[in-house]
Amino acid sequence: SLMLASFAEAASILGREDYRSAATASADFLLHELRRDDVLMHSYKDGKSKIPGYLDDYALLISGLLALHEASFEQRWLEEAISLADAMTYRFWDEGQHGPFYDTGQDHSALFVRPRDILDSVKPCGGSAAADVLLRLAIITGETAFEKRAVAALSSVREQIRAHPLGFGHWLCALDFHLSNPKEIVIAGTHSDPRTQALLRTIHAHYMPNRVLVGVDPVEPRTLRAAPLLKNRTMIHGCPTVYLCQRHICHTPTSDPSALERDLDG
């Protein structure tokens, strides 16, 4: 999933179709070969998937699928990400809210203590990755339940973050996203259209970790769960159009990369 996200992000920024193809092949493989009866599996060998997935398997795959949607505008990746987020909260959320997500689901082997790894190391831990993707999906879908669980997870590790910040790097990224005013960017237009690509190049020329980007291709059906963010987001005068907002307060929609540049700089 980390590789998938890297290829998708590189495809967006560098305009590399081969990277996009690699990301798409990776996502197709993970969703078709490592999912059994709607349960994401952890390992795959000799044509067989084994062991129910852990929290980080779900959260990092969701992150990769969101990146792949940005790189292609294909609605199926957004739908899959939202569906996996529902499954993730069902399988790993602590209903007692005594701490962040559990690392194991209900169908894992019975353990004396159900584990929760809260430290970020060479890769994000499951809890921080889950908090990050749920905050982003809350903006995309308008579902407050996603945000509430993410904030509860962040609150549960507050004292540990204060005491040992170097061990909570991805948690701090999620916290920064939550405390900032993330940019909400919707592009209405066909991804392959050169005019759409010009707008995307302008966006990707800016370092904006705290933003969500959703594409609306006129020839694809819209993702129903993203309806609040996509309401009335259409091309204007037949041209690809960018809608740039923060906390639902929006700039004037534009099809001009220069105007978009000024809005982003402002």
Q: State pTM to two decimals.
A: 0.95
Give residue 99's pLDDT: 64
Give residue 219's pLDDT: 83
Concatenate the DSSP letters of all residues of the chain into one string: -HHHHHHHHHHHHH--HHHHHHHHHHHHHHHHHSEETTEEEEEEETTEEEEEPPHHHHHHHHHHHHHHHHHH--HHHHHHHHHHHHHHHHHH--TT-SSS--SS-TTSPP-SS--------SS--HHHHHHHHHHHHHHHH--HHHHHHHHHHHHHTHHHHHH-GGG-HHHHHHHHHHHS--EEEEEES-TTSHHHHHHHHHHHTS--SSEEEEEE-TTS---GGGHHHHTT---BTTB-EEEEEETTEEPPPB--HHHHHHHHH-
Give residue 212's pLDDT: 97
Give residue 220's pLDDT: 80
Give residue 87's pLDDT: 95
Give residue 109's pLDDT: 67
Give residue 228's pLDDT: 78
Give residue 68's pLDDT: 98
pLDDT band with cut points at 50, 70 and 90 for residue 266:
confident
Mean pLDDT of 123-130: 96
Give residue 141's pLDDT: 93
Least confident piece of the model among 91-100, 131-140, 186-195, 213-222: 91-100
Question: What's the pLDDT tens digit per position in 52-71?
Answer: 999 999 999 999 999 999 99
Give residue 112's pLDDT: 62
Higher per-residue confidence, 222 vs 219: 219
Percent of the chain with pLDDT over 90: 81
